[in-house]
Structure 1
Amino acid sequence: MDREETRITLRLPADLHAWLTAQAKANWRSLNSEIVHRIEGEYRASAANAETP
């Protein structure tokens, strides 16, 4: 899938960073891919909820 990307700087609390890093390793993803995966999941859920009457 081709999509335009935007680079951002993200500040995270150290404990959240450590947890995300551990989750990424457990899921065989990079930290960036883990964050994108989780945000996309929330985005899809939010969009689905918006469509429900």
Structure 2
Amino acid sequence: MDSDIRLTLRLPVDLHTRLTLHAKRERRSLNADLVYLLECALPTVAGVADPTAGEPAAPARPGGRPGPPVA
């Protein structure tokens, strides 16, 4: 990263446990794994365009999960 930003984040204990276990399985630090997961998820966040893709993200379906691209 060119520059880093520190962020304080509150997580439920069970989510922190799941994330910690996932990071260990992937042999990454918790921070590196969180960055990786966020980078993977970012293009699919409803209503937020990926500036590198040149197109808007898919709209959200009920329940907050992204749906298929709208024609």
Partner secondary structure for residue 9 of structure 1: coil
RMSD of aligned C-alpha atoms? Answer: 2.2
Larger Rg: 2
Which has the larger helix fraction? 1
Structure-2 residue corresponding to 1:50: 56
Superposed displacement of residue 35, structure 1: 0.5
TM-score (normalised: structure 1):
0.79
Instruction: State the number of aligned residues.
Output: 52
TM-score (normalised: structure 2):
0.61
Partner secondary structure for residue 56 of structure 2: helix
The 4+ residue runs of structure 1 with deviation greater than 3 A are none
The whole-number CA distance in structure 2 between the counterparts of 1:3 and 1:43 is 19
User: Which runs of 5 or more structure 2 residues have no equivalent in the other structure?
Assistant: 58-68
Q: Comparing both chains, which one has the higher relative contact order based on Cα–Cα distances under 8 Å and sequence gaps of 6 or more?
A: 1
The whole-number CA distance in structure 2 between the counterparts of 1:4 and 1:45 is 24
